[in-house]
């Protein structure tokens, strides 16, 4: 497959200028999901948090499940993009932007969820450390204050990380458009002229961000896990939670990325860019994460079972054998039993195979977060105050709205910016020598910083 | 010397009459949840009487255990609050500053005793209960946490009274509503820093235990119980 720079531009800029009825239908569906969520939230603010299904021992449920879930999904961008950039893996080029966009959008949703969940959401800004007339700082001992700082750092960092490689593409779009689009892209391209100095600065900045964002991402999900691990609640108070959550986050994030890529490939007709080999590579990564996830789940459960602490065993059995057993085993099936053959067997690791595996994994990881939160809260130490939880329509609508918002933001973004980084692809095409694909992955990378395993590598060297 | 307020609850005396629960509701303007909300697990009692059955009929025994905020010295609810709404006073009380609370409910999850309550809705009182609200206690709006304060309004007014009269507080001069209403005198309240107070004396009893003391929360409520209570023997 051979693509020239002009063809790449034509293919990738096409979705920006031509819009079909299918797109508007999708936008309408996603927007109505978001509107339903806005309505549910207004209803909640008007009537009180009591319209949720929460009750006395179960003070967190769907809300924090969604929070951890979306923060988890946001880990797709970091891993794929930053790590693959630093490793100079050539196949990353068509993947990075969809991944980085997932990070920013999932993180925005993840940041909104805990604001909605507050008993008095209108006072959320009291979490912000600023010298106020209240003469009081946030409590920096609280994991929630850490959360606030970690997530705002990560959101700032990942927005920059997404934005930096967009600048040259916006400049390209600016040069091709007129009217309001030209104004918009002029603004977004920050006066990009493509001088060597600008390129140098851009690449330095991208390199700095790629290095900086990895520890931030790891710390964010570790801190999210500390929301649980820092409390003396049975099966929450665990040292394994930090790495367990990071692994779970990357796991669900990669799955979400595969789903997003498959959708983009289908609807933006990017078959020639997002190729089976990308799904194959990501499928291998997903397999690794699935195995790691099983290992962590096994280690966590085994140590609990062996320790045999009565309060922990109440939670343990409630999730494995009693009322949560159907959910627990569904989670195991979704996160391991179904994905494993699709990801481990080379013949099944196709686009369809990885999409099936990713779908079950995204569902399974949502259940995993629910099972971390609710069984523990239902079975705290005093059996007298045990309880049960059932969601109401408000919580379910807010959850649906989260997915709607992700779809909506992604849809709008795909009309604003090419979903694949044009200039990075072109750089790959330009510098890559023609190498048979099966040799590419084995060949050592050159020190120049440009990898050659581009799936559509051509001899179009200039 | 600052006070260190504490309570002793004699489980061998408790009859499970729940007078403490009623007294607490009346004193602290705790809105009743109503049957529907209570069935959904939203009953709000700053003190509750837990019932546990031991043995099988006909040798069954029922045990009562009043559980209120343990006013822990090392309270798990305090460090987790991002807005300092859950706060340790210099007198060792575990205060809840309502106006600071934004309703993260983290404290309620962290509390191993499940004695912190959320206002799921704005409070309402069935008529004529709205006429008996205590003017010394603020009512709490929707979305914020509340819990037992050891009747801090009574502590403050007694301290102010004593200060005005330039004297020390006397042991047993005032009591929280639950202690005051306890007919079998199962509950005793006082200052642990006064070695001669009744609460100090009782807390040194060989029958004294802490509820889930093994969690390291250092509660300021002691429970008195015979050994048989823990061993589950009938006596």
Write out the DSSP string of B2-38. ---EEEEEETTT-----HHHHHHHHHTTPPP--HHHH
pLDDT the model gives residue A431: 58
Would you say residue A116 lies in a domain? yes
Chain B, 97 to 126: residues with Cβ < 8 Å from chain A are 100-106, 108-110, 112-114, 117-122
Nearest Cα of chain A lies from the Cα of B157 at a distance, in angstroms, of 26
| Pick from A354-368, B126-140, B147-161: least confident | B126-140
Its pTM stands at 0.91
DSSP, collapsed to helix, strand or coil, labels residue A135 as coil
Taking contacts as CB-CB distances below 8 angstroms, the residues of chain A near B37 are 50
- Span A135-168, pLDDT tens digits: 889 999 999 999 999 999 999 999 999 999 999 9
Would you say residue A58 lies in a domain? yes
For the cut 60, the answer to whether the pLDDT of residue B231 exceeds it is no
* CA atoms of A154 and A246, how far apart (whole Å): 14
Contact yes or no for B110 and A139 at CB 8 A: no
Q: CB of A387 within 8 Å of any CB in chain B?
A: yes
Distances (CA, A) of A104 to A183, A264, A267, A413: 24, 17, 21, 11
The encoded tokens of residue A153 equal 């750092």
Phi-psi label, residue A151: left if phi above 0, alpha if psi -120 to 50, beta otherwise: alpha
Taking contacts as CB-CB distances below 8 angstroms, the residues of chain B near A56 are 41-43, 114, 117-118
Taking contacts as CB-CB distances below 8 angstroms, the residues of chain B near A63 are none
Would you say residue A150 lies in a domain? yes
- Span B2-16, pLDDT tens digits: 899 999 999 999 999
Taking contacts as CB-CB distances below 8 angstroms, the residues of chain A near B52 are 383-384
The encoded tokens of residue A166 equal 């967009």
pLDDT the model gives residue A462: 32
The encoded tokens of residue B29 equal 């303007």
- For testing contact with chain A, the best of B80, B217, B221 (most A CBs within 10 A): B80
pLDDT the model gives residue B233: 47
Residue with tokens 């889930």: B212
pLDDT the model gives residue B17: 93
Burial A395-434 (b: 16+ CB within 10 A, else e): bebbbebbbbbbbbbbbebbebbbbbbbbbbbbbbebbee
pLDDT the model gives residue A7: 79
* CA atoms of A222 and A229, how far apart (whole Å): 10
Q: What is the mean pLDDT of residues B161-182?
A: 93
DSSP, collapsed to helix, strand or coil, labels residue B222 as strand
Nearest Cα of chain A lies from the Cα of B38 at a distance, in angstroms, of 9
* CA atoms of A93 and A267, how far apart (whole Å): 19
CA atoms lying within 13 Å on the CB side of residue A281: 19
Q: CB of B40 within 8 Å of any CB in chain A?
A: yes
CA B166 to chain CA mean position, Å: 29
Instruction: Name the residue among B79, B83, B113 with its Cβ closest to that of A382.
Output: B113
pLDDT the model gives residue A92: 83
The encoded tokens of residue A195 equal 């001088």
- In terms of CA atoms, which chain A residue is nearest residue B45? A56
- Span B44-97, pLDDT tens digits: 999 999 998 888 888 888 889 999 999 999 999 999 999 999 999 988 899 999
Nearest Cα of chain B lies from the Cα of A225 at a distance, in angstroms, of 13
Q: Which residues of chain A fall short of a pLDDT of 70?
A: 1-2, 429-462
Using a 10 angstrom Cβ sphere, with 0-12 exposed, 13-18 middle and 19 or more buried, the burial of residue B180 is middle
Contact yes or no for A126 and B83 at CB 8 A: yes
- For testing contact with chain A, the best of B64, B87, B109, B122 (most A CBs within 10 A): B109
Contact yes or no for A384 and B82 at CB 8 A: no
Residues spanned by the domain of A287? 15-127+139-421
- In terms of CA atoms, which chain A residue is nearest residue B108? A59
Would you say residue A447 lies in a domain? no
Would you say residue A308 lies in a domain? yes
DSSP string across B47-80: EEEEEEEES-TTS-EEEEEEEE----TT-THHHH
pLDDT the model gives residue A2: 61
Instruction: Name the residue among A47, A120, A143 with its Cβ closest to that of B102.
Output: A120
- Let me know if domain B5-231 sits in CATH 3.30.590.20: no
Task: Return the domain boundaries, chain B.
Answer: 5-231
Residue A47: how many other CB atoms lie within 10 Å: 14
Taking contacts as CB-CB distances below 8 angstroms, the residues of chain A near B217 are 232
Give the number of domains in chain A. 1
**Residue A253 and residue A319 in contact, taking contact as beta carbons nearer than 8 Å:** no
pLDDT the model gives residue B91: 85
Nearest Cα of chain A lies from the Cα of B117 at a distance, in angstroms, of 7
pLDDT the model gives residue A430: 62
pLDDT the model gives residue A451: 43
- Name the residue among B160, B187, B155 with its Cα closest to residue B23: B187
pLDDT the model gives residue B179: 96
- In terms of CA atoms, which chain A residue is nearest residue B104? A118
CATH number where A24 lies: 1.20.1630.10
Taking contacts as CB-CB distances below 8 angstroms, the residues of chain B near A312 are none
Using a 10 angstrom Cβ sphere, with 0-12 exposed, 13-18 middle and 19 or more buried, the burial of residue A302 is exposed
Nearest Cα of chain B lies from the Cα of A64 at a distance, in angstroms, of 10
pLDDT the model gives residue A63: 93
Taking contacts as CB-CB distances below 8 angstroms, the residues of chain B near A384 are 48, 50-52, 65, 67
Contact yes or no for B114 and A136 at CB 8 A: no
Instruction: Name the residue among A141, A148, A382 with its Cβ closest to that of B114.
Output: A382
Instruction: Name the residue among A47, A382, A387 with its Cβ closest to that of B41.
Output: A387
Contact yes or no for A384 and B109 at CB 8 A: no
pLDDT the model gives residue B44: 92
In total, chain B counts a number of residues equal to 235
Q: CB of B47 within 8 Å of any CB in chain A?
A: no
Taking contacts as CB-CB distances below 8 angstroms, the residues of chain A near B212 are 381-382
Contact yes or no for B79 and A141 at CB 8 A: yes
Counting residues of chain B whose pLDDT is more than 70, the rounded percentage is 96
């Amino acid at each position: 497959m051979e693509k020239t720079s002009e063809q790449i531009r034509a293919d990738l800029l096409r979705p920006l200028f031509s819009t079909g009825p299918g797109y508007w239908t999708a936008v309408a569906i996603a927007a109505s999901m978001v509107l339903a969520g806005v309505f549910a939230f207004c209803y909640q603010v008007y009537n009180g948090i009591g319209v949720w299904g929460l009750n006395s021992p179960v003070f967190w449920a769907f809300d924090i499940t969604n929070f951890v879930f979306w923060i988890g999904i946001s880990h797709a961008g970091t891993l794929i993009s930053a790590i693959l950039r630093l490793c100079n893996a050539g196949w990353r080029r068509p993947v990075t932007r969809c991944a980085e966009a997932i990070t920013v959008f999932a993180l925005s949703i993840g940041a909104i969820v805990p604001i909605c969940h507050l008993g008095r959401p209108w006072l959320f800004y009291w979490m912000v450390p600023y010298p106020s007339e209240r003469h009081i700082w946030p409590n920096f001992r609280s994991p929630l204050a850490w959360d606030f700082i970690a997530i705002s750092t990560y959101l700032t960092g990942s927005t920059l990380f997404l934005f930096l490689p967009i600048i040259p593409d916006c400049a390209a779009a600016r040069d091709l458009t007129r009217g309001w689009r030209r104004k918009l892209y002029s603004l977004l391209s920050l006066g990009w002229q493509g001088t060597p100095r600008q390129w140098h600065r851009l690449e330095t900045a991208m390199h700095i961000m790629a290095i900086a964002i990895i520890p931030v991402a790891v710390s964010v999900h570790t801190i999210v896990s500390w929301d649980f691990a820092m409390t003396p609640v049975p099966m929450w108070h665990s040292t394994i939670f930090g790495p367990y959550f990071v692994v779970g986050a990357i796991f669900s994030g990669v799955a979400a990325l595969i789903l997003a890529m498959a959708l983009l490939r289908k609807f933006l007709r990017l078959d020639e860019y997002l190729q089976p080999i990308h799904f194959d590579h990501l499928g291998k990564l997903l397999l690794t994460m699935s195995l790691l996830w099983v290992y962590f789940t096994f280690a966590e459960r085994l140590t609990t079972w062996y320790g045999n602490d009565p309060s922990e065993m109440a939670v343990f059995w409630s999730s494995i054998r009693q009322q949560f057993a159907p959910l627990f085993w569904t989670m195991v099936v979704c996160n391991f039993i179904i994905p494993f053959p699709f990801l481990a067997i080379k013949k099944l690791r196709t686009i369809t195979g990885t999409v099936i595996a990713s779908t079950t994994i995204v569902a399974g990881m949502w259940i995993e977060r629910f099972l971390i939160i609710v069984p523990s809260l239902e079975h705290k130490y005093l059996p007298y105050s045990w309880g049960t939880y059932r969601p109401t329509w408000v919580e379910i609508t807010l959850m649906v709205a989260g997915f709607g918002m992700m779809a909506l933001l992604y849809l709008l973004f795909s009309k604003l910016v090419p979903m694949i980084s044009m200039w990075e692809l072109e750089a790959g095409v330009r510098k890559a020598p023609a190498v048979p694909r099966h040799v590419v992955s084995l060949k050592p990378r050159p020190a120049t910083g440009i990898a050659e395993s581009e799936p559509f590598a051509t001899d179009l060297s200039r | 010397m600052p006070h260190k307020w504490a309570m002793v609850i004699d489980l061998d005396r408790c009859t499970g009459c729940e007078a403490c629960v009623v007294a607490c509701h009346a004193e602290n303007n705790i809105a009743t949840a109503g049957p529907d909300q209570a069935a959904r697990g939203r009953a709000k009692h700053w003190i509750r009487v837990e019932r546990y059955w031991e043995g099988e009929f006909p040798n069954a025994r029922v045990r009562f255990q009043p559980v209120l905020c343990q006013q822990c010295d090392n309270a798990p609810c305090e460090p987790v609050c991002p807005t300092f709404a859950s706060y340790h006073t210099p007198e060792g009380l575990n205060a809840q500053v309502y106006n600071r609370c934004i309703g993260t409910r983290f404290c309620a999850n962290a509390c191993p005793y499940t004695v912190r309550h959320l206002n799921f809705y704005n409070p309402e009182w069935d008529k004529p209960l709205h006429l008996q609200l205590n003017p010394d206690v603020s009512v709490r709006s929707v979305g914020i946490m509340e819990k037992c304060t050891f009747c801090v309004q009574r502590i403050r007014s007694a301290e102010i009274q004593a200060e005005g009269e330039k004297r020390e507080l006397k042991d047993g001069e005032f009591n929280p509503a639950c202690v005051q209403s306890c007919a079998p005198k199962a509950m005793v309240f006082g200052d642990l820093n006064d070695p001669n107070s009744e609460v100090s004396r009782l807390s040194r009893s060989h029958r004294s235990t802490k509820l889930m003391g093994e969690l390291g929360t250092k509660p300021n409520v002691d429970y008195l119980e015979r050994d048989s209570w823990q061993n589950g023997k009938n006596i």
